[in-house]
Amino acid sequence: MSTPRHRTAPEHTHPDDVPVLTALAALADPVRLTLVRELAGSPEWSRACGTFDVPVGKAALSHHFTVLRAAGLVEQRDEGPRRVNRLRRAEFDARFPGLLELVLRTEPSA
């Protein structure tokens, strides 16, 4: 029996396989929208999961990242103890042209 890994690698869904309802639902949440906005303003792979300014606990944050991965919005990889992120901007744009631009340019509360 092999030694268990510290944690399993995150599962991803490519944007091409994401239904439009899944994409809309992933973006229709204030915490996830903040994560997407902060990722859009950061270099790829520069942000670990704990570095986002969102008012939720660790379990909730993990759930939000799962939803974002399943919607093809975020890619994650483990670098030692850190799980780092990038926004899948080009692939998501190819699947849903204009959607990310729209949510990024509109004020969240406006």
CB 15 to its own copies: min, Å: 12
Which of residues 4 and 98 has its CB atom nearest to its own copies in the complex?
98
Paired with 108 in beta bridges are none
Closer to its own copies by Cβ: residue 84 or 99 = 99
Look at the alpha carbons of 69, 41, 33, 23 in this order and tell me if their dihedral is positive or negative.
negative
Residues numbered 20 to 79 that lie near its own copies (CB under 8 A) are 20-21, 24-25, 27-30, 33
Stretch that binds its own copies, among 19-27, 37-45, 60-68, 72-80 (CB under 8 A): 19-27
Please name the residues in contact with 48: beta carbons below 8 A apart, sequence gap of 6 or more.
82, 83, 84, 85
Compute the distance between CA of residue 75 and CA of residue 23 in angstroms, rounded to an integer: 15
Opening angle at CA 13, ends 7 and 14, nearest 5: 135
- Out of 1, 59, 90, 110, name the contact with its own copies by CB under 8 A: 110
Binding site for its own copies (CB under 8 A): 19-21, 24-25, 27-30, 33, 96-99, 102-103, 106-110
